[in-house]
Each structure stands twice: as structure tokens, then as C-alpha cells.
Structure 1
Amino acid sequence: MELTGLPNRTVSPAPAGARRHLRRALGLVTAAALALAGVGPVAPPPAAAQQRGGGPSVIRDTEIENLLRDYAAPILRAAGLTQQNVRVIVLNDRSFNAFVMDGRHIFINAGALFDAKTPNEVIGVFAHETGHLAGGHLLKLREQLARAQTASIIALLLGAGAAVAGGGNAGAAAIMAPQAAIQRSLLAYVRTQEDQADHAGVKFLNASHQSARGMIELFKRLSNDALFNSRYVDPYLQTHPMPQERVAALEVIAKQSPYFDVKDPPALQARHDMMRAKLAGFLERPDTVARRYPSSDQSMPARYARAIAAYRHADLRNALAQIDSLIQAQPANAYFYELKGQALLEAGRGTEAIAPLRRAVQLAGSAPLIQVMLAQALINTNNPATAEEAVGLLNTALAREPTIPEAYDQLAMAYGRKGDLGRADLAAAQAALNRGDLKTARQIAARAKARLPVGSPPWVRANDITNDKPQSANARN
């Protein structure tokens, strides 16, 4: 389900021809479900993004993920969902959108993070999506879709019977009329869920002593953008309530809260501004970054964005000077050291990248993504001694996050540097498995079995992969 019903997503009316309608009637429910997902086109991923399985690219970044975790935690706690281990996934899409598609993930586009001016606006987004999770809307929607599909099949059969008996346009009308009613009923149900999620979101914000002002201001801004288009749409063919009505209903309940005027803490706003600067540096063209953050702006977010843009566009010497200046200003900021290490590593200067990445790991604490980057720098030295350290870092990181992109590839190289070919093959098999390449995974796992002691834990995991038990791919080596 998507947050951005502003502008509303419209489901087209049924086609006029009875024959064409017969072919597409069962697709009606699927079309409605896809309209709820709201995943738009994705731009080519930047260096900070990964693409898996041909779907939208996913941006992984420790700094951003830690901030979003801090945003979501009070809301999830207020909703009683802490034990579900709900994760926030950032998609590399510049449009403003957020949605849930299962009970364990909240998806949000980078565009939503970049366009949100305050932490409270993003927190309002999470409150709304948590309303869907807490209300069990996904399960209920699946049940509603199943009922709609059953009703669609019955309508088709009845309509087909009428076509045989009456023929001509009478049969076509008999088919289309029930389908239009089913469509409107389904969309009305979805709009009700959206309204319930809005109300639940305000409740969670109140329970966590936070304001709903950000949610309202965000919806107002999107409402203004959609005002012209909303004049020409059928409100009964929308997945979300009409913009102005939605904002008005939210304002009534939000302004009753004693926390409506609560402001974001300055430290949180500062982290938010740094996140937006980081996204700009990675996702926007350097000239756009320069216009958004001109050299006259000496704030930390502006300096951060310009440093990232410089390194990304092959001006490494200038970038390193800017990053060192950032480190001098905030010597305890782990993410500045991470950025320096990443810039050096991607420039082929892996040995120089080790020191700043070590410091980043020390300052960030448990940060699997940074640990993997440090391991990569260690592996690039081609030294068996540093390969041993890389193995330890990678196994520690994978124990916390078993699906980190390319971590198993790095682990395979680290074991290769050590001459442990059996474990190297097992890691390569797990890498292929994570990519969904089951055929290659089984082939490499079979080779790993031949090199590993029979019955040892690594041999057992390799055997599981060859026998189609992929859950073992998340085990450590």
C-alpha cells in the first residue's frame, strides 16, 4: 500500500467490449493490487545502491539506516510491534512514496527522505505505514482481494450466460456492470484502510509524545501539488481519500493532541539535514549539488554534500581535502572516516583506505556495512595475514546481516587469499544463492563438498545447498 495517494492513483474503468472484458476481468483484482504497491521506475543506482533480482535498487547506508531506525523505533514501540523486528528499506527512487508489502518491512523512497524538510515529516510517514501494519491491513486486503476475485468469476459466469441467452450488447452490459461494482467496492475498502492508517498514525504519534504536524504539513504540500489534477478525477476510483478531505480530517484529530506543537530536537534535525545532504551528494549531478549547496554555504550538510559529489565525479584530491576538513571539524564522526575510506577504496587505493575504515568501525560500533568495506580494503592488500582479519570481520557482519550485498563474494576472496579453497567455494556458493542463481550455487557447493572434510559444519552447509535447502546459506563459515 502506498502513502502517496496525493495525487491519487486512478484505476481505469472497465473496457467497453464484452470479449475484451472477458479476457481482462480476472486481471482487475491484480491491477488493483499493483496500484496499491506504488513502486515506480528506478534510476540507475549510485555507488551506494544495490540492485537485486531486477527489482528496484535498494540503498544501503549505515548513517541513513541508523537515523531511520531512530525515527521508527518510538512509533513501532507505541504500536506494540517491537518484537516483529520491522526494518526500513530505502529504495533508489526520486518520487515521494512509502508503502508496506509484508509485516516486517516499511519501504520508503529516497525521494521521500530528500523532500521531507523535518524529521517529523518522515516520522509521520512511518506512523501512517505502521498503522497499516498494526491494523493487519495486508492480511485483510488479501482476504478482500480473494473475495473480489471470487465475485469476479461469478460475475463472469453469469454475464457469459446472459450473453448466450440474450446476445449482443445486453450480454456485454451484464458482464461489465457487476465488474464495475466489484471494482468500486474494492477501492472503497482500500480508502477505508488508508483513513484508518491515518488515524492510527496520529494515535501512535500521541503515544510517543510526538507531533502530527509533520504528517499534516506533508499531506498539505502534496495536496497542493495534486489540486489541479484532483478536479478531474472520480473520487470513487481512487485508492486514497481525496487530498483536501484527507488533510481536513487529519487536522481535526491532530490539533486535539497536547503534543501538536512539539518540535524536533535540534540534534535530530541536524542528523536529518546531513542525511538529505548525503542523498544529494550521491544521487544528484554535481552541478545540481553546487546550486543546492553553493560554496558560500559553509554549513556541515553543505560541506558534506560537496565532498561526496567531488569524490563521486573523479575529483579525488579535492574530495579528500574536503573530507579531511570535515574530520577536523568533527573528529568523532564515524561516517566522515567511512566516506574517506570508501573514496580511497573505489580509487584503487585500498591500503590507504584501511586506516580511516578502521577508525570508522571503532566509532560506529556494530556497523556490518562498514565492517564489510574494511574487509574489502584488507583483502585488496593480497596479504594472507590481513585476509585472516577480513574473514573475522565478514563473519561478524554476516552474523548480524546475512544478506549484505557482495559480503559472501568478499568472504570467498578472503578464504582464497588464505588458501582455504573449500570454504572459499562455500562462500561463493552462498553468494550465488543470495543472487538467486540456484544452478551456479549448487555447482559450486558440490565442488566445495569435495574439498571439505566430510561431516564438518561447512560440508553440511554445502550439502544443504546442493540438496535445495537454501536456508543454510545464511549460516556463517
Structure 2
Amino acid sequence: MPIPKRFFRRAPLRPLIQSLVVATTLGLVLTAPPSAAQVNLPSLGDSVSQDLDVVSERKFGDEIMAEVWADPAYVDDPLLQEYVEGIFRRLVASSRKLGNITDETVDHFAWQPFLVLDKSINAFALPGGFVGVHLGLIAMTGADDELASVMGHELSHVTQRHIARRIVGDSRNGLLATAGLIAAVLAAARGSPDAAQAAIMTSQAAAQAASLAFSRDMEREADRVGFQVMVGAGYSPSGMSSMFERMEQAFNLSDSGDYPYLRTHPLTSERIADARARIGAAPFARPTGTPEHAMLAARARVLMDPRAVPWRALQDLDRGTRDQAGDAPLLDQLAARYASALASIKLRDFDRSARAIDAAQTLLAQLPDSADRGGRGARDLVFLRAELAEARGDAAAGFAALQTLGADKSRPLLLERAALALVDRDPAPARAVAEDLQTFVALHDKDILAWAELARLWTRLGHTLRSVRAQAESSLAAGDLNGAIDRMRSALRMSSARDADQYEAAIIDARLRTLTYERRRLLKERYPNGVPGGGEPQ
């Protein structure tokens, strides 16, 4: 019989999943002011493990992420993804050292950040160790310390089992009773105040108040633990208060005391003071930015709003900084040139992009070597040159730029090599990159984009079976098991051709058997009394 589509297929977020996603949205959005005196609060997550075990929470997180990966708002920009993952790894290691991550959760949770194509200032934690970061958040930060303060807060929601606690609490109180509040938060986060107000009016006020009081304690703990994690990871203690002040200046919010959790960014003077109090007697100073962060924040600014009008405004940033070159800090000038160069690529104004990259290179050379940690900023500029060459269709220039980085085998550069090979008329680079990418996915089999690019390369080289199998593996990595099985079956049918690669056909046959078995296992787990309608899954 047909498999129930809603079990495996990608679909709009269901109300239950949508509610739980929003219920865990950024503490910077839904928080009440923390108290500096609450340093010795007990962990709120201690009592929840017996109610929702880590295996169940991870499975639930995987189901939500399958919806996220299918959403157009999900974005995998290799450079930004690598940057966010680097920060997150340090935070996870710090949290582990502090004892916040148990032996049980370290193995079962994903500990994986992902990017959201949205210009709002937001981040959020999901069940199972997934943390979403909006491009708008990256764009507004002035240093990695500030970004780490937000991610440390969200990581602490995971380590303190706040998400599991919220799920258990909602199931006890009746999830539908808080649906109005959750819808309001979702609408407010998406910039729809009218919809938010309407949702509030249709919800039950008593249930809202109980839910929000529950959330305030979690947010206080996430602030407290997140600060410890951030500092333990080597980031500046002033990163959190600096981020708060930056957001307060941007949004000029005030605290009326009435339902502060429904306002988009309740950053009060009290909360900033508490964040400063955690630093101690040391005078406050904003964290020092780096060339890498300045350029990647500019990159996020360009990518977060993919329309011609904002791109043109960003393209003109270099003109403004030239006019005030004597006054603007070098990092601000560098960021403006980078944004102008990338926006110009998007607008296909290639000559202007090249000039902006050259100007950025000159500015980078004016900074002391110690400012560019490990030459990361210089590397990111080389990557931008390769992207310009790709957009121009000049693969040779792109490969030449990447060759200056020597033995760099990082994911962003591997994927950029793949992109260049796809615009190169000579198939030789495609063969070399395909082999390297095949090795990469063997070690990183959950990489959706890498599998997709590998599929394109094999198509370019005329290896249809390999291409279709890579498409199937990409679908599987994105949580679309049905789609993966469909593609594998298609490949198996193709393998009956006389000239088919029989080695590849054997791999496809084995993978299809494995995936079909996995689907049957999941269906049995989901429907222990039999699939509705009877029959066996195919």
C-alpha cells in the first residue's frame, strides 16, 4: 500500500511542530531580565530527563529538521556555515568541560547549528541539539564574541534540557491552550504585529501567563549558563553586554513591564546592567572585531535580503566609506568593500566587484598581522575572488585564486572548486573535484549540499547512475526517506542497461535494500498495531 505521505514527505510545518519550534525561539526575543544574584540557581533540567529521554528528543528534533531543510528559508552558505560551526564547536567544548553536557547527551544529540535566510535578529534552539541562526543576527554583530553570546545562550537551552521541559510542560497543561501565544510569538518574530495581536486575543490568558512564567525561569538560567559557557570558550566576557547594548541602540526599546516577553527584543537597562555585573569590576569595552568577522557579517548582510534594491544600496557602501575614509575605522571600510563586491556579483556588475575586492585587499594589508587571526580574512577575500570568477564563467581564474591557498582542504573551498568545475568547459577539473568530493561525502554522509553538488558533477561527466545515487543520498540527508528510495529505485532501473556501471549498480541495490528496511522499521515504530489501512510498505 502507499506509505502515508505525512510521515516522510516534506510538507508545511504542522501545528504541533510549529508550536514547539516557536516555543523554543531565541531567549533574546522571549526573555525577561536576568538577575545577577541568581548565580547559584539549581539546574531546571534535572527533573525532566525521566519525562522525555534524550533519544526521543533527538528523534523529534530530526523530524523538525526534515521540515526545516525543505523550507526555502534554510540556507547553506559554506563560508558562513563554517564560521558559525567554528564558534559553536568552541561553545560545545566549553559546555562539556563545565559539565553541562552529559555522557548521554553528547552522543545522542546533533550539536549542529544551521542558517536561516531571514534579516531579523534572531536565533533559536530546537530539540535534539539543533540551533538556528538568522543571517540578520550575524549581520548586526560587531565581533565573534557578540555572536558567541547569543549562541551560548541557545546552546544552554539545549544542555539544560529546557526544550524537553517545555514539551513535557505543554503536554501536561494542554498544548492547545498555549497555541494562541505561540502563534503570536511566531507572527511577531516574522514582523506581523497585527497578526500577533489577533492571536493574543484568541488565546486563553491564564494559560499564557502560566507558560510565560515557566519560560522566564528558563531564560534566566540560559543567560547565566550561557555566559559561563561563552567565557569558558575563550570569548570576551563583555560580549553579552555589548550585544545587548548594540541591540538596544538598534531598536531603542523601553520596558513598560506589561508582557515584556511578547516584545521582539526586550533589552532593558536592567538586563544590560546585570550582564555587565557578571564581568566584575573591569571597565566595559566592546570586544575587538577581526577582518574575518567584519567581512562575514557583511556577507550575511548581502545574502539575508536577496533583492536588487538592497543589493544596490550595499553596492554603494564603498562610495560612502571612500568619502569618509579618514574617519571610518579600517574594519568598517573593509566590511563596506566586501559588501559592495559581493552585492556587485549578485547584480552582475563584475568590474565594480573586482575594484571593490582590490580595495578590500589594500585595506587588509594596512591592518597588523595580529588582527587577522590565522589569515582567515585573507582567505575569505580569496574565496570572494573565486566567486567572482565563477560568476564570470572564468573557471581558470577561479582555480588560480584558490591555488594561492595551498593545501587548504576545507569544505567551503572544496564546494567552490565544484562550482568552478561546473562552469569550466574542460571536464578534467570536474573529474578531479568529483573524486575529492566523493571522498568527502564518505566521511560526511549527512552533508546535503555536498551530495547535491556531487550529483551535478557526475551529471556533467555523464555518469548518470552515480548522479542519481548522489541525488538520493542528498534527499536522505535532508530527511526525505521516501524521496531517497524513489531516486534509488530509478537508478536501479537504469542499471539494467547494457552499458551500465555494474559496480555502481551493486552499490545502489545494497543501499536501496538498506533504505527500504529502514522505512519498514520506522513505520513499525510509528504504527506498532499496523499501518492505517492495512498492507505492507513497499
Q: State the TM-score, normalized to the length of structure 2.
A: 0.63
Relative to structure 1, the CA distance from residue 210 to residue 291 in structure 2 (aligned partners, 3 Å threshold; closer, same or farther) is: closer
CA contact (8 A) 1:425 1:447 kept: no
Secondary structure of the 1:100 match is: strand
CA contact (8 A) 1:131 1:197 kept: yes
Which stretches in structure 1 are left out of the alignment for 5+ residues?
Answer: 1-26, 40-50, 154-175, 472-477
Relative to structure 1, the CA distance from residue 216 to residue 397 in structure 2 (aligned partners, 3 Å threshold; closer, same or farther) is: same
* Aligned twin of 2:47: none
2:211 and 2:363 mapped to 1: Cα distance?
A: 56
* Deviation string, structure 1 residues 55-105 (Cα, Å, up to 9, x no partner): 42324132x344434433443222115776623322221111111113433
1:119 has 2:153 as partner: no
Secondary structure of the 1:461 match is: helix
2:352 and 2:265 mapped to 1: Cα distance?
A: 48
* Aligned twin of 1:287: 313
1:274 and 1:384 mapped to 2: Cα distance?
A: 33
Give the drift of 1:147: 1.0
CA contact (8 A) 1:406 1:431 kept: yes
| Count of residue pairs brought into register by the alignment | 404
Give the drift of 1:199: 1.2
Secondary structure of the 2:167 match is: helix
* Aligned twin of 1:315: 349
1:373 to 416, 419, 422: 416
* Deviation string, structure 1 residues 421-467 (Cα, Å, up to 9, x no partner): 43233223334545644575244233355345378334312444566
2:381 and 2:173 mapped to 1: Cα distance?
A: 53
Give the drift of 1:242: 7.6
1:456 has 2:481 as partner: no
1:341 and 1:419 mapped to 2: Cα distance?
A: 25
Relative to structure 1, the CA distance from residue 411 to residue 457 in structure 2 (aligned partners, 3 Å threshold; closer, same or farther) is: same
RMSD: 4.1
Which runs of structure 2 are paired with 1:77-226 in the superposition (5 Å)? 77-80=93-96, 81=101, 86-149=111-174, 180-208=205-233, 210-223=235-248
CA contact (8 A) 1:121 1:218 kept: yes
CA contact (8 A) 1:423 1:448 kept: no
* Aligned twin of 1:10: none
1:391 has 2:434 as partner: yes
* Deviation string, structure 1 residues 386-415 (Cα, Å, up to 9, x no partner): 332122122133245445455434433433
Q: Which amino acid aligns with 1:72?
A: F
CA contact (8 A) 2:110 2:128 kept: no
1:463 and 1:386 mapped to 2: Cα distance?
A: 34
Relative to structure 1, the CA distance from residue 393 to residue 358 in structure 2 (aligned partners, 3 Å threshold; closer, same or farther) is: farther
* Aligned twin of 2:338: 304
Give the drift of 1:135: 1.0
* Aligned twin of 1:71: 87
CA contact (8 A) 1:368 1:400 kept: no
1:356 to 401, 405, 411: 401
CA contact (8 A) 1:391 1:415 kept: yes
Which stretches in structure 2 are left out of the alignment for 5+ residues?
Answer: 1-14, 28-67, 179-200, 305-309, 366-374, 522-538
CA contact (8 A) 2:91 2:233 kept: yes
* Deviation string, structure 1 residues 149-182 (Cα, Å, up to 9, x no partner): 18969xxxxxxxxxxxxxxxxxxxxxx9x95433
* Aligned twin of 1:58: 75
* Aligned twin of 2:299: 278
CA contact (8 A) 2:276 2:284 kept: no
1:356 and 1:237 mapped to 2: Cα distance?
A: 49
1:30 and 1:352 mapped to 2: Cα distance?
A: 46
1:444 and 1:396 mapped to 2: Cα distance?
A: 24
2:362 and 2:457 mapped to 1: Cα distance?
A: 33
* Deviation string, structure 1 residues 261-318 (Cα, Å, up to 9, x no partner): 5764x5x533222222333444542234424753344743333222222222122133
2:459 and 2:291 mapped to 1: Cα distance?
A: 43
Relative to structure 1, the CA distance from residue 318 to residue 212 in structure 2 (aligned partners, 3 Å threshold; closer, same or farther) is: same
* Deviation string, structure 1 residues 205-256 (Cα, Å, up to 9, x no partner): 443454432312332444566666643733587899883443344344x143
* Deviation string, structure 1 residues 331-367 (Cα, Å, up to 9, x no partner): 973322222222222233334433223445x36x232
* Aligned twin of 2:22: 34
CA contact (8 A) 1:100 1:129 kept: yes
Q: State the TM-score, normalized to the length of structure 1.
A: 0.70
* Aligned twin of 1:4: none
Secondary structure of the 2:118 match is: coil
2:282 and 2:23 mapped to 1: Cα distance?
A: 34
Relative to structure 1, the CA distance from residue 262 to residue 68 in structure 2 (aligned partners, 3 Å threshold; closer, same or farther) is: farther
Secondary structure of the 1:96 match is: coil
Q: Which amino acid aligns with 2:312?
A: P
Q: Which one scores higher on RCO, CA 8 angstroms, separation ≥ 6?
A: 2
Identity %: 20
CA contact (8 A) 2:253 2:267 kept: no
Give the drift of 1:144: 0.9
CA contact (8 A) 1:216 1:247 kept: yes
CA contact (8 A) 1:91 1:107 kept: yes
Secondary structure of the 2:290 match is: helix
CA contact (8 A) 1:452 1:459 kept: no
Q: Which has the larger radius of gyration?
A: 1
